[in-house]
Each structure stands twice: as C-alpha cells, then as structure tokens.
Amino acid sequence: MVIIKQGAFIVLIISILFIVSCTVTDTDVINETLSVDIENQTDELNSGECSPEWICISTKIKAYQYSNCSIAGQKECPLGCQDGECKTAKTCDSGFTCINADMQAYRREDCTTTQKIWCDFGCSNNECNPQLENVTHVTETNETVAEEPDEAVPTIDINRLEIGDEVVVTVAELNYTLSIYNIDLDRVRIQVNSVRSDWLERTGNSTTVGGLEITIRDVLFQSYLGGLRAIEYTIP
C-alpha cells in the first residue's frame, strides 16, 4: 500500500511540472505574438506619416507636403530650390560705391550700376579720392606761389539700352539706329542700322560699328527669367 501511494505521489508531481511548463511556453508565445503585432502596427503608422512642410520635389520646383504625405501647391523656382525654399536673386545695398580702382558709380538694389564717374586720383571707401593738396614753391625772391587747383572731375554721360529696345543716336547730324542683337555674360553684339558687330566686351575701349563710334562701359546680364539684360555705353 505504501508503495502504491508513493507511486501516485510521483505521478502527481510529474503532472504538475508538465502543466506548469506548458503554461510558461504558451505565455511566451502569446507575449512574442503581441510584440510582433505592436511593431507591425507602429511601422504601418510611421510609413504613412510625413512632416507638414515645404519641400523641393526637383531642383527648380517646390511643393507643400501634408501630414499624409500628399503633395500640393507646386511652385517654380527660376533660380533653383534648396531646403524647401526658392533661391532669391542677389541683392545689393543701394548707394555710391567704387566699382574699380579708378571709377565710382551708383549701385542699385539689383546690383546694377549707373552714374559712373572717373576718379583722377583713384577711388577708395566708396568715394573718389580728393585732389592732392596744393604745393607751394619758393622763388628766388622768397615769394610763395600756390598752384591753381585742378578743375572738377567731369561726369561721364552714360546711357543704358535694354535688349529689345532701339535708340536713335545723332552724331554730326547723322542718325544711327542702335540696338542689341545678342547679349551674354560680360559680352554683347550690337547692331547699328543694318550692321552687326562681333562680340564686344566691357573693356572701356571705343569701337566703330556701322560708322558709329561707341564705348561699351558695362554689360548687365541676369540669367534668370525676367532678369535685366542691357548695356551701358557712351558716345565719344
């Protein structure tokens, strides 16, 4: 009888251990399944969400991206798109400035220049340098003679001509029709009456086209759509 009871007790212990092990295994499987489901749900939510903001959808087009990742409100950027914004044209502070070591001019906000003035004594700090101080000479009679001051620096009459426009220039009672035939960065081809020039650069040297002597002072060329394309010139 004692042996039977001991055998029954051993069987009971084995059964309890088996049930406990099965319960633990089932719990682990359930927990793992729930974890996978939660991760899948999180991935599904993240994949359909976007930050609402302006973005560049190409090098020259920006658009608004909604939180559901849809795109709307496309806008063209003539100068290019960067970090969701259209690049802006270069701007300058308006006012007189030195455009080289010997010339002063008025600079507009679009960075073009006009009212150019030659500076006989050079240009610095955005102004023409003043004339040298008068020099006195001592004569044999110990009298001092002051040199006469130089005349005021003349202002050059600089004209502007935009592409597509024509202007009639009169020299020695002869009329010349002047226009721009072609223009590029730092160079231009002009047309005088029916005569077209070769490519001219802004060297400041005069040239003769169709009988008209002309000096190209500046070539204004903005490559973006609607940008300024013109020349500044003088007639000697």
pLDDT per residue as tens digits for the range 202-217: 777 889 999 999 999 8
Which DSSP state fits 101? T
Region 220-224: what's the mean pLDDT?
87
pLDDT tens-place string over residues 66-75: 999 999 989 9
Could you report the per-residue pLDDT of 158-210, keeping only the tens digit for each? 899 999 999 999 999 899 999 999 999 889 999 999 999 999 987 778 899 99
pLDDT at 42: 43
CA distances in angstroms from 2 to 11, 12, 14, 15, 26, listed in the order given: 14, 15, 19, 20, 37
DSSP for residue 134: P
Question: Is residue 114 within 8 Å of 160, Cβ to Cβ?
Answer: yes
Percent of the chain beyond pLDDT 70?
A: 72
0.95 exceeded by pTM:
no
**Do 158 and 114 touch, CB atoms closer than 8 A?**
yes
- Average pLDDT in the chain: 79
Q: Which residue has the higher pLDDT, 39 or 120?
A: 120
Instruction: Give the integer Cα–Cα distance in Å for 102 and 122.
Output: 4
Asked if residues 98 and 117 have their Cβ atoms less than 8 Å apart, the reply is no
